[in-house]
Amino acid sequence: MSDGSAQRPTRSSHLNDRAHGAPQSDRQSGSQGAVVDSSFAPQDIVPRLKAFLDLVAREMALPIRYDISTSSEPEGDESGRAQEDGSASQKSGIAQDETGLLVQFSGEDEEILLARNGELLLALEYLAHRWLRLPPALHDHVRFECGDFRANRLEELKLSARVAAQRVRETAQPFPFNPMSSRDRRTIHLELTGAPGVRTMSEGSGDHRHLVIYPATPPTRK
C-alpha cells in the first residue's frame, strides 16, 4: 500500500525505450490489448494508464501524486469518484458507465510540469495517448491537468480567438493558427460561433491539422 508520495529513485535511461506506445510485453505480442476502435472503456484503459504514470514517476524521479477520475464527457467536470488506495502515489476512481478520464497531478514538482506553458504536462499527455494506442478520435477522452492549467489555457485560447477574429475583420485576410489538438480547435470554433464577419475551418491532417479563421464573405475580385 502506497503512502501517497513518490520516492526519488536513481534516474534511468529506459523511459524513452519503454514509452514508445506500449509496454514491452505488448510490443512483443503485436496489437494485443491495443485500443484501435472508436469505443472507450475506462475499466480497460485505466490499468495501462496507471502503468504509464507509475513508470513516469519512477524513471523521471518526479515526486508527484496523481488522481484518476471519470467524467460523463471528455471535457466535463469530475464525477463518480469512488477512490481507493493504489500503488506509486495514486488514488483512482472508475465508473464503468462514464467515458472521459482526467488525470490530476499534484506535488512538489508541479512547477516543472507547468513550465513553458505546460510543455511537460502536454508532452506526457501525448505520450500517454501513444502508450495507450488511442486513435486520434479518442485523445480528448484522456486529459492531464495540474493546478488550474486547463482553465487558464481555455481563457487564453478564447482571448486569442477574439483577437485573431478582429484582425481578420480589419484586414479581410485569413488567420491560420499553429497546429493544435482537436480539443483546442473546438474551443476556438465554439468561441467564434455566431461571431460577426468571420468563419472558422479546420484544415490539414494528423499532427498538422490546424484551424483557420476566414472572413465571412470572400473579398470581391476586381
CA distances from 161 to 85, 149, 217 (A): 42, 18, 18
**Whether the predicted pLDDT of 205 surpasses 60:** yes
Interval 73-97: pLDDT, tens: 544 333 333 232 233 344 333 333 3
Mean pLDDT computed over 156-162: 95
**Whether the predicted pLDDT of 15 surpasses 80:** no
Percent of the chain with pLDDT over 90: 40
Specify the fold of 152-215: Ribosomal Protein S8; Chain: A, domain 1 (3.30.1370)
CA 184 to chain centre: 10
Which helix (H) or strand (E) segment holds residue 44: the answer is helix 42-59
- H helical segments located in 90-138: 110-132
**Whether the predicted pLDDT of 8 surpasses 70:** no
Interval 104-154: pLDDT, tens: 999 888 889 999 888 999 999 999 999 999 888 788 889 999 998 988 989
Dihedral angle over CA of 70, 74, 76, 81, nearest 10: 0
Q: In the chain, what are the domain boundaries? A: 15-147, 152-215
pTM for the structure as a whole: 0.60
Cα–Cα nearest to 117, from 139, 146, 141: 146
End-to-end CA distance of the chain: 74
Q: What is the reported pLDDT for 208?
A: 86
216 pLDDT tier (thresholds 50, 70, 90): very high
Interval 44-69: pLDDT, tens: 899 999 999 999 989 988 888 899 99
> DSSP code of 60?
T
Mean pLDDT: which of 19-23, 54-58, 82-86, 218-222 is highest? 54-58
